[in-house]
Amino acid sequence: MNRDLLAKFVSKEPLSEAQLPALFAQIGLTGSEWDYLALYEQIRAYCEAFVSRFDALSIPELGFHGFRCEELYRFLFDDRQFGLNFNKKTGAGVLYGPAHTQARRDFVNQLPDPIRLACLRRKLLLTEVLDVCPDGVHIDLDQMDIVDIGMGHGIYALIGQDQSWVLKSGQSEHQAFFMALLDVLGWPSCLYYDLVTPKGQLWQLSAYSPPPHLHTERLKGPQMCRQLAYHAALGDLFGRGDRHFDNYVCRDQDLFPVDVSILFWPNNNEWVSRYTSGGLSELAILMTAYLGDMNALSTCWEMFFDHYESVFELLREKQSEIKALLGKYYRDPEQKMDFILSQINHQKETLMLQKEMYRRSLISYKERVFMKPFLWSLLDRDPSLGTPLRWMYYFANQTEWTAFFLLDYHHRRFVLDEIKALALAKGVLTDGDWDRLQYDMDVMSTQLS
């Protein structure tokens, strides 16, 4: 890779007629059919437009920054930069929304096809990961479309005629085990491989399931309720965290997780409760459809826990196979088996505890869902009312089920109080509406048990 050329491009120095093709040759785009000067200008304008688009979504006060043109040029012309990633502080509860992920993906996916494919092919080849794919995995990049499907960072779907795969960098401690566990239970799963390149870099390869993934209509069928309940129970009993809906994929009517990063987490219930209050657990997602109808809500709750309870029995039945699997994937299988047994052997107590946790969290979710539209209407009418946190939730809440995630964990209850006060002052919310919400929350509290 010619660093001088890239440096010139980045610093906006003019490139000579001979240098322009050399620059594009770096991403594998060669041939006399291209008007390189026009491409060069197109790329510059494309990057500048994206910088403006993302600036309107960034929240720098919270550590969620936009992109600089230089970063975009580097992503395009430096093969070693695998993905285009958010410039966001991690672990500080800074949330993103669909507008952010869509913009990031669009930057990659809406590049002119020859540039996108040439650029991504070279990045993928440089990883050497294709050299270590197992038998049966056929990846011929020249015959495949390559699309960025990641959320906050670049993850690529390699879409072919016969086979399509998803490639993600980094290690997954638990995904392979969890996929094998799903097979043991007879539940839907997908092909998954952990790969190590000759240079020792770790990659995850999974079979690609194309969209549409989960949406409201699909939630209503009994099959979806059963699968959500199964995964909630399995997640709770195995201490699986980070179970929000972007980490599930639907293949026809089959639901399975694609991003199992946390398992056997001590006190995982605290997190499940936070996710549920924010609309990001299996039960919260299911209940969203029924929050306005108390009878339907109770019926759904009962159906959900019937399925949930059946998982205890299934795990007891499959105990020896699970033990063997743990032995295959972990160095401390006994400890992990004890983690599971300590819960399934006390079914009644565990179930009571879980129901209580879900009941409390769902009531809090109900309040947050109620408040969502007020935040939107306030900021839409008067953007000057936006504070960094209000904008953050404005965007993050646009995911269908999400409502003020991590409000308590990061001591942000005041955000809801402020929205309520503003909405009352502006007359978009009345005291009567608020009282009705409190009444509904009380009804929920007695009906869900």
Ligand X SMILES: Nc1ncnc2c1ncn2[C@@H]1O[C@H](COP(=O)(O)OP(=O)(O)O)[C@@H](O)[C@H]1O
Residue 444, binding choice from Mg ion, ligand X, none, Cβ under 5 to 8 Å by partner class: none
Joined together, the tokens standing for residue 83 give: 């993905």
Q: Is 189 in the site for ligand X (CB under 6 A)?
A: no
Alpha helices in 110-207 (DSSP H): 113-127, 175-185
Q: Is 163 in the site for ligand X (CB under 6 A)?
A: no
Is the previous residue joined to 212 through a cis bond, with omega within 30 degrees of 0? yes
Sole binder of ligand X in the list 66, 97, 150, 278 (CB under 6 A): 150
Pairing mode, strands 254-257 and 156-159: unpaired
155 closest CA partner among 38, 249, 224: 249
Which window, 118-126, 200-208, 360-368, 408-416, contacts ligand X (CB under 6 A)?
200-208
Shortest distance, position 211 Cβ to ligand X, whole Å? 8
Shortest distance, position 263 Cβ to ligand X, whole Å? 15
Contact 194, 204 (CB under 8 A): yes
Sole binder of ligand X in the list 190, 202, 262, 424 (CB under 6 A): 190
Contact 54, 67 (CB under 8 A): yes
Shortest distance, position 134 Cβ to ligand X, whole Å? 16
- The residue type found at 53 is R
| Phi/psi at 201 (5° precision) | -85, 145
Q: Is 237 in the site for ligand X (CB under 6 A)?
A: no
List the interface residues with ligand X, window 204-223 (CB under 6 A).
Answer: 206-209
H/E stretch holding 418? helix 413-426
How crowded is residue 133: how many other Cβ atoms within 10 Å of its Cβ?
Answer: 16
Q: Of 74 and 153, which CB lies nearer to Mg ion in the complex structure?
A: 153
Shortest distance, position 241 Cβ to ligand X, whole Å? 12
Q: Which residue is closest to ligand X by CB? A: 259
Q: Of 280 and 419, which CB lies nearer to ligand X in the complex structure?
A: 280
Sole binder of ligand X in the list 5, 39, 84, 149 (CB under 6 A): 149
Q: Is 151 in the site for ligand X (CB under 6 A)?
A: yes
Shortest distance, position 65 Cβ to ligand X, whole Å? 18
Shortest distance, position 180 Cβ to ligand X, whole Å? 16
* Interface positions with Mg ion (CB under 5 A): 247, 259
Q: Is 88 in the site for ligand X (CB under 6 A)?
A: no
Instruction: Give dist(CA 190, CA 182) in Å, integer.
Output: 9
Number of residues in the chain:
449
Sole binder of ligand X in the list 130, 155, 291, 419 (CB under 6 A): 155
List the interface residues with ligand X, window 374-433 (CB under 6 A).
Answer: none
Q: Is 371 in the site for ligand X (CB under 6 A)?
A: no
62 closest CA partner among 29, 97, 95: 95
Instruction: Give dist(CA 400, CA 235) in Å, integer.
Output: 22
Q: Is 288 in the site for ligand X (CB under 6 A)?
A: no
Query: How many chain residues are in contact with ligand X, going by CB under 6 A?
Result: 18
Residue 47, binding choice from ligand X, Mg ion, none, Cβ under 5 to 8 Å by partner class: none
Q: Which residue is closest to Mg ion by CB? A: 259
Instruction: Give dist(CA 108, CA 153) in Å, integer.
Output: 11
For residue 270, CA distances in Å to 85, 139, 311 come to 29, 42, 21
H/E stretch holding 168? strand 164-169
H/E stretch holding 257? strand 254-257
Residue 150, binding choice from ligand X, Mg ion, none, Cβ under 5 to 8 Å by partner class: ligand X
Q: Which residues bind ligand X (CB under 6 A)?
A: 149-153, 155, 166, 168, 190, 206-209, 246-247, 249, 258-259
